[in-house]
Structure 1
C-alpha cells in the first residue's frame, strides 16, 4: 500500500499560485451538487505524498471516475459537514455512494478501481483493519518529514482541471 504511494511521489509538476483562483468547472459542480455517481477523493493538498498519490490515481484509474478536492478546501468542509469525521487532515477520504471511507479503507477501495496490476493492491484488505490503520497512521504522522510539505497546492494539468472541485 505505501509502496504504491511512494512510487507516485516522483512525478513533479508546477505549483499552483492560490492568488489565482479559477472557476470550478460546471462538470464538477454538477456531479457533486446532484449527488450523482462520481466518487470524490479528499486529500491533504500541501502534502507531497498525498499529491503524489493523486497523480498516481489520475494516471492509473479506470474510466476517469474520481473527482478530487483538497482537505483544506471549502468543498471538503461542505462535503464532510455533519459526517462525524475529524477534519484534522491526517487521512485521505473517499466519498462513494454516500459512504465515507478513510485511512486504509479509502486506499484499498481506490486500488480496486485502478488498472492492472495496481488493482491487486486491494488484496491487502485481508490484513486486519486495525493493523492496516496502524501502519497508515505511522505513515500519516511522518508524511511531512519523510516526503516534504509544500507551501501551495499544486496546479493540475490542463486536461485534468475539471476533475478538481476547487481550484
Structure 2
C-alpha cells in the first residue's frame, strides 16, 4: 500500500485545463470541504509525486490520498467522486475490472492536452479555494 501522512489530498496537473476543471468541480461540490489540492508543479506536489513514482514533468495520473492510502488513475477519480454528495453510487463503478477502467483513464490522460488544452502556467484558484491548496 502507498501511504502518505496527509489525508484527503488530491494531486493534479495544474497546467492541464481538464485537470483544473476537475479540481474546481470537486471543490465546488465538496460541501464538507474535506479535500485539499496540490498541483504537481508546486513544491509539495512535486514531493508527493516523486514519493509515488509519478514523473512531475510528464504526469500520467492523478493521486488521491484518502484513508492514508494513495489511489491512482480510475481508483482515485472514483474514490473522490464517491465521497461527494450525490455521487456515492460511483463506488459501484469500481466493480468494472480495473484494466478496463484504467484503459479509459489512460486514453483521456494521454490526450488531455490535445483535447482540452493546456495553460501556460498553473491556474490560480479563487480566494475560497486557495485556502484549500497545499503548496
TM-score by length of 2: 0.87
Question: Distance in 2 between the 1:159 and 1:127 partners?
Answer: 36
Match among 29, 33, 43 for residue 12 of structure 2: 43
Deviation at 1:62, TM superposition (A): 4.1
Match among 46, 49, 54 for residue 86 of structure 1: 54
Question: Distance in 1 between the 2:78 and 2:59 partners?
Answer: 19
Q: Which residue of 2 aligns with 1:95?
A: 65
1:120 aligns with 2:104: no
Question: Distance in 2 between the 1:81 and 1:91 partners?
Answer: 12
Q: Which residue of 2 aligns with 1:14?
A: none
TM-score by length of 1: 0.71
Unaligned residue ranges in structure 2 (runs of 5+):
none
SS in 2 for 1:58: helix
Question: Distance in 2 between the 1:163 and 1:86 partners?
Answer: 22
Q: 1:80 to 1:89 in 2, by over 3 A?
A: closer
Question: Distance in 2 between the 1:120 and 1:56 partners?
Answer: 17
Question: Distance in 2 between the 1:125 and 1:62 partners?
Answer: 23
| CA shift digits 1:12-64 (9 cap, x unpaired) | xxxxxxxxxxxxxxxxxxxxxxx45x411000000010001001101112410
Unaligned residue ranges in structure 1 (runs of 5+):
1-34
Deviation at 1:156, TM superposition (A): 0.9
Match among 79, 86, 90 for residue 109 of structure 1: 79
Q: Which residue of 2 aligns with 1:63?
A: 32
Q: 1:114 to 1:145 in 2, by over 3 A?
A: same
Question: Distance in 1 between the 2:49 and 2:121 partners?
Answer: 22
